[in-house]
């Protein structure tokens, strides 16, 4: 195989690795930007994602949410208990099974999701405005492909045997037992260490007064 052929043969995995790293970096940056832009939002990302899932699919059961969000059942229970205690969601006994419950976001929960989404959109809009026009056009043209990629991953996750074999993944015996570690989505977002990059300019992200007024929100669950 020629050098050019070798590069071509390896371009797929390399591009996939770079894309995965870029998406993860974007997600971390957006989480940090949203915290800076709206420090009054004390809900954890995992809590907001669960509320968003309920806003899209009212009446979901805890087990369904655990599968959809790829969370452990006890993590979902912890989040649900905290949100219910602060009036963000309601539990209703399922009609077809008196032992099961269905969950629905309350108006306060839906408003929290709306405020979170609005903040994220404002941060993205401000960040996009700092990029060259060519990069903005490239990102805009990539939106359909990114959406299609997300749907493809969802389909694979819902179809047993279609995702990479565990034998191709890192040896789990060399990794920490996940049940002994705290759930990272339930911990405060640490952002970027102080000794990396330049200090943030407080005036570059959306003004808190321009974001929707949610009223008081519950303290972030520490469980």
DSSP 81-107: HHHHHTTSEEEEEETTEEEEEEEEE-H
Distance of alpha carbon 103 from alpha carbon 51, whole angstroms = 10
pLDDT for res 209: 55
CATH 3.30.390.50 is right for the domain spanning 39-131:
no
Taking the whole predicted model, whether its pTM rises above 0.85 is answered as no
Q: How much is the pLDDT for 143?
A: 93
Per-residue model confidence as pLDDT tens digits over 95-132 = 777 778 899 999 999 999 999 999 999 999 999 999 99
The b-or-e profile of 150-174 (16+ CB within 10 A means b, else e) is eeeeeeeeeeeeeeeeeeeeeeeee
Please tell me which residue, 84 or 154, carries the higher pLDDT value.
84
Split at pLDDT 50, 70, 90, the class of 86 is very high
Q: What's the pLDDT band for 197 if we cut at 50, 70, 90?
A: very low
Q: List pLDDT tens digits, range 52-81.
A: 999 999 989 999 899 888 899 999 999 999
Query: Please, are residues 43 and 116 in contact by the beta-carbon 8 Å criterion?
Result: yes
Q: How far apart are the first and last CA of the chain?
A: 54
Per-residue pLDDT band for 210 (boundaries 50, 70, 90) equals: low
Residue extents of the structural domains in the chain: 39-131
Above pLDDT 90, what percent of the chain? 39
Lowest-confidence range among 10-19, 127-136, 204-213?
204-213
DSSP secondary structure code for residue 70 in this structure: T
**Residue 113 buriedness (CB in 10 A; 0-12 / 13-18 / 19+):** buried
Residue 174, pLDDT above cutoff 70: no
């Amino acid at each position: 195989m020629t050098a050019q052929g070798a590069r071509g043969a390896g371009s797929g995995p390399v591009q996939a690795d770079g894309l995965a790293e870029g998406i993860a970096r974007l997600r971390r940056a957006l989480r940090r930007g949203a915290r800076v832009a709206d420090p009054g939002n004390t809900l954890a990302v995992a809590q907001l994602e669960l509320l968003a899932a309920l806003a899209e699919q009212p009446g979901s059961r805890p087990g369904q949410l655990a599968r959809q969000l790829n969370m452990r059942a006890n993590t979902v229970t912890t989040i649900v208990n905290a949100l219910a205690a602060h009036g963000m969601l309601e539990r209703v006994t399922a009609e077809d099974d008196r032992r099961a419950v269905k969950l629905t976001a309350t108006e306060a929960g839906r408003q929290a999701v709306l405020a979170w989404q609005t903040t994220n959109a404002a941060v993205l809009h401000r960040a996009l405005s700092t990029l060259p026009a060519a990069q903005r056009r490239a990102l805009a043209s990539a939106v359909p492909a990114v959406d299609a990629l997300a749907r493809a991953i969802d389909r694979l996750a819902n179809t047993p045997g279609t995702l990479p074999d565990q034998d191709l993944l890192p040896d789990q015996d060399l990794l920490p037992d996940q049940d002994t570690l705290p759930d990272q989505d339930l911990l405060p977002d640490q952002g970027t260490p102080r000794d990396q990059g330049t200090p943030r300019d407080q005036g570059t992200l959306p003004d808190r007064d321009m974001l929707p007024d949610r009223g008081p929100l519950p303290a972030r669950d520490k469980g």
